[in-house]
Structure formats: C-alpha cells, structure tokens
A and B are shown apart, each in its own frame.
Chain A
Amino acid sequence: MKRFYAFLTYVWRTLYQAHRATIFSDFLNSITVMVLAGTAAMVMFFLVNFEESLQASKKGISVLVYTHEKPSSQQLKTLSQLPEIEDIKVIPGETILQKEMGKEALRVFREAGVNIPQVISITLEPEKEVSEQFKKIVNHTFQPVYVDYGIEVRRSLGTVLRVIQALSFTTTVLFVVGIIIIVAGGVRSNILMQQQEIEVLKLVGATGRYIAFPYTLKYTYTTFLFITLGLYLFDVLVIGSGVFSSGGGGLLSVKSIPFRFYTYLVLAGTGAAAVSGYYTLRRML
C-alpha cells in the first residue's frame, strides 16, 4: 500500500513537471501538433460534407418507365407489393416535357402530332437494387417504350463514397503518423538534453521503465492537450465563425463534424503519442 502511494506521488510529481515543461519547452512541437490536428479536422470536415451531400442524392434509385398505355390501378398495385418499392407516381408526359424543355417545346411537339409517352416514376427503398422480378413485371404489364433504371448513377456514386471513406482513413493514418514522428523526434531531443539526469537515474538503480514513464506521460499529456486545443480552435474559428455556412457558394446546409470524429482524432493521436514515446525511449535507454 505504501508503495502504491509512493507510485502515486511519483505520477503526480511527473505530471506536475510535465505541466510546467509543456509551456516552456517543446513549444514548436506543440504548435505543430495543434496545426496537424486542425488540418486533419479541416479535411474531415470537407469529406463529411461531401459525403453528406452525396448521401442525400443516394436516397433510393428512381426507375423511370416510359409507356403509352395508361397503367390500371390493379397493375400499379401488383408492382407496389414488391419489397423494394417505396413510392410509385404516374406523371403525364406533357408535364415532364414542359418541365425539362419549356412551354414552347411542348407546343411544337403537340402541333407535330407527336404521341408523348407518360412516365411511371418508381422510387426504390434506399440502398435497394432493381430485382429480376421487378424487371419482369415492368416489361410484361406496362409494355414500356423505354426504361431508365438509374443504375449507372448509383454505381459511380458507390465508388465515390468508397473513395471518400478511403480518404478519411488516409487522413487519420497521416495524422497518426505525423504524431508518431513529432513525438519520436521530441523524445530524442529531450533525451539528449536530459542526458545527465538519465545517467544519474540509471546509476541509482532506476529501471528502464521508471525512466521512460515520465517522458511517455509528459508526451502523452502534451499531445492530448494540444490536439484538443487544435480541434477546439478549429471548431470555434472555422466552423463557429460561419464562413462556410453563410454565402459559402452552394454549401448552404453545412454539417459540422460529428463529435465522435473529434473523439477519434484525440484518441488516435494520444494513443500514437504514448506508443511512439514509450517505444522510442525504450530503444534509446
């Protein structure tokens, strides 16, 4: 029990020294960590918003069936019993033509006696694909002129989303690698500066762990502090100031980063600092 208290005293003394040292030494490293965290948050911020706008457009594929026959309500009911169907609307061809090409075009088409097909717009549930049964029903019951399955759009969307996920992952990895390099370098220069102290500790019988612990703690603590500070500043200065939400050219409904992203960054960075610090120390001592 007494040893445990002695250990607590040791931890406390170490943290106290670390707290004072944080402000005066390693100033450059601390600033770098802060900027790194801010940059990572910035990249995440753009990715989150990009993904958000893509997700919005991904909400269920619309299949457009062009046909001259007016579908009966019995036919529409058969189709709507398929599990992937969310909504079915029948839109007169004129409405679409007018919307897409204007009143004038509609008049020209009418005068030329063109038989304008109507459109059955079928919205699928989100994430659902077009099934074979769906195709069969569509082809047999409606005698379509043309069917637009919207699949091409969906495919490329999936790829883009995957690219975005890969980019967020890469950002996190780069952030972690950055922290590892900064901490390893900081520990190295710190050890060179404190060689006398480390020498003495070894001579009075300190274990490698005893010597490594304060430095690891100091770096873990400092990194934690400055990542948090960097993210806080980003949140206040970049998101809080509203530069992106007002008049931000198209990005009208800007999402700020979900809080869990901040947590990931803090945890990943602090963990990286602890591991990097301890590993570098044990290798050097």
Chain B
Amino acid sequence: MIQFFHVFKSYTGEDFALRDITFEIEKGEFVFVTGASGAGKTTLLKLIFMEERPTNGQILIAGRNINRLRQSSIPYLRREMGFVFQDFRLVDQWSVYDNVAIALRVAFIDEWEVRRRVSRVLKLLDLDVKRNTPVVRLSGGEQQRVAIARAIVKDPLILLADEPTGNLDPDLSKEILHVFEEVNARGTTVVFATHDLSLIKEFPRRVIKLHRGMVVEK
C-alpha cells in the first residue's frame, strides 16, 4: 500500500529531515512510527499525504508513483486518505458537524448520507452533544477528537495520524486507540505516529522507529 525507496527530504537544502528511508507497509496493516521530537515523523506522514514532495527517492501509494502524479490529481488521492494533524487544522468558526462533514461534501456525497455517517462517528467519539458548537469553543482534547472524526468519517484507504493522543489523558488515549483499531479492522491501513511508548507497549504492533531522520528499526 505504501512503499518508500531511498527517500530523502530536506526543507532547507542543507540538512535532511529524512534520509535514505526505505520501507513497505502492506494493505490493512497497523504501523506505529516512533522517534524523539524532531526525528522526522511528521515529515514522513506529510510525504505520504503529498503535502511535501521528496527531495530524492521514490514513493508509491496504492501502486501509484506520486512523483509522477499531476498536481491536479492530488485532491482525488487525498479523498482516499484521512489525516489527523498534530495541530488539528480545523476551521475555527465552523461547527463540529460541519468540520467533519466537509470531508464528505468535497466528494459530493449526498447530504442524507453525510448526516448518517457524521452522526455515526460523532457518537463513536463521544462528540454528539457538541455537534453544533463552533470548534473554537472546544477544549484541546475535544478538538483532537473532531480532527480524528474528520479523518475516519470517509472510511479511508489509508489513515495517517500524527500524535493523535497528544492532548488526551491516558484513559481517553486508550479509547481512541480502540477507535483506530476498529477502523483498521474494517480494512483501513493505519500509520500512527507517536512518541508515547506506553501506548505501543499496550498495543503491540509493528513499529518503524526513526532517529534523526533515519530508520533504525522497521
């Protein structure tokens, strides 16, 4: 599903955020990406999401070489992916409902279906009572759950999560992890970046470990 061949990424042109990354993630896998802060986890996910382009090397997503992808087809590929961003990236003024629904609306899914699917994930993430609240008025933990809801509402082929439990207390973190497992069980490939090793201990899965932009374990 996701293949990296000798991928390098440099933002500045001098030092590399990622160097010589090679790995493969199969369809339906659940993979943790770990490493200290600044190790390159976010950069790795952004490359998969095509928010950043690799400086060197090849990346294949669902069999397609994204180096050769035209700019205009990026939106269509992104509709197959869910991304929980470290900084959420929600629209502050929109309600919880609209923030989640937009992921379906951009693909012109009809409004009745949108309502059905959004209601389901809002219940799953315990956001039902807040559905009409603008997200600015939510706590960090609640916003994080909205971001997760938006990423999973379309049943994506690939779910990318960048420290999605960063703002949650340990109990809630476990609940959220169960949500990710459920999504994974329905066939979605999950790539989960975290520096929280206790989570990995509790849910033993394959780990890709980064250290200063290099893979030290895969």
Q: Are B106 and A206 in contact (CB under 8 A)?
A: yes
User: Does A10 interact with chain B (Cβ within 8 Å)?
Assistant: yes
Identify the closest chain A residue to B94 (Cβ). Answer: A197
Q: Are B107 and A205 in contact (CB under 8 A)?
A: yes
Q: Which of A18-62 contact B (CB under 8 A)?
A: none
* Contact string against B for A residues 188-218, beta-carbon threshold 8 Å, 1 for contact and 0 otherwise: 0000000011011111111110100000000
Q: Are B110 and A5 in contact (CB under 8 A)?
A: yes
User: Does B30 interact with chain A (Cβ within 8 Å)?
Assistant: no
How many A-B pairs have beta carbons closer than 8 Å: the answer is 59
Q: How far is the CA of A2 from the CA of B102 in the complex (A)?
A: 17
Residues on the B chain within 8 Å of A203, using CB: 51, 78, 83, 85, 89
User: Does A75 interact with chain B (Cβ within 8 Å)?
Assistant: no
Q: Are A199 and B89 in contact (CB under 8 A)?
A: yes
Q: Are B102 and A201 in contact (CB under 8 A)?
A: yes
With A7-B108, A10-B108, A210-B106 as known contacts, state yes or no: A200 contacts B90, CB within 8 Å.
yes
User: Does B172 interact with chain A (Cβ within 8 Å)?
Assistant: no
User: Does B79 interact with chain A (Cβ within 8 Å)?
Assistant: yes
Q: How far is the CA of A210 from the CA of B102 in the complex (A)?
A: 12
With A204-B78, A205-B106 as known contacts, state yes or no: A9 contacts B111, CB within 8 Å.
yes
User: Does B62 interact with chain A (Cβ within 8 Å)?
Assistant: no
Q: Are A205 and B78 in contact (CB under 8 A)?
A: yes
Q: How far is the CA of A201 from the CA of B89 in the complex (A)?
A: 10
Rounded to whole Å, the gap between the CB of B191 and the closest CB of chain A is 16
Q: Are B89 and A200 in contact (CB under 8 A)?
A: yes
User: Does A112 interact with chain B (Cβ within 8 Å)?
Assistant: no
Q: Which of B104-159 contact A (CB under 8 A)?
A: 105-111, 113, 150
Residues on the A chain within 8 Å of B105, using CB: 6, 10
Residues on the B chain within 8 Å of A260, using CB: none
Identify the closest chain A residue to B83 (Cβ). Answer: A203
Contacts from B to A (Cβ < 8 Å): 51, 72, 75-79, 81, 83, 85, 89-92, 94, 99, 102-103, 105-111, 113, 150
Q: How far is the CA of A197 from the CA of B94 in the complex (A)?
A: 9
Residues on the B chain within 8 Å of A2, using CB: 110, 113
User: Does A3 interact with chain B (Cβ within 8 Å)?
Assistant: yes
Contact of A197 among B75, B91, B110, B113 (CB under 8 A): B91
Q: How far is the CA of A108 from the CA of B79 in the complex (A)?
A: 102
* Contact string against B for A residues 128-144, beta-carbon threshold 8 Å, 1 for contact and 0 otherwise: 00000000000000000
Q: Are B106 and A204 in contact (CB under 8 A)?
A: yes
Residues on the B chain within 8 Å of A7, using CB: 108
Identify the closest chain B residue to A7 (Cβ). Answer: B108
Q: List 30 A-B pairs, Cβ < 8 Å.
A: A2-B110, A2-B113, A3-B108, A5-B110, A5-B111, A6-B105, A6-B109, A6-B110, A6-B111, A196-B91, A196-B92, A197-B91, A200-B89, A200-B90, A200-B99, A200-B102, A201-B102, A203-B83, A204-B102, A204-B103, A204-B106, A204-B150, A205-B76, A205-B106, A205-B107, A207-B72, A207-B75, A207-B76, A207-B106, A208-B72
- Using A201-B102, A208-B72, A208-B75 as known contacts, list a sample of 18 further A-B pairs with CB atoms less than 8 Å apart, ordered by residue number in A: A6-B109, A6-B110, A6-B111, A7-B108, A9-B110, A9-B111, A197-B91, A197-B94, A199-B89, A200-B89, A202-B75, A203-B51, A203-B83, A203-B89, A205-B77, A205-B106, A207-B106, A210-B75
Identify the closest chain A residue to B150 (Cβ). Answer: A204
For B76, B103, B108, which residue has the most chain A Cβ atoms within 10 angstroms?
Answer: B108
Rounded to whole Å, the gap between the CB of B79 and the closest CB of chain A is 4
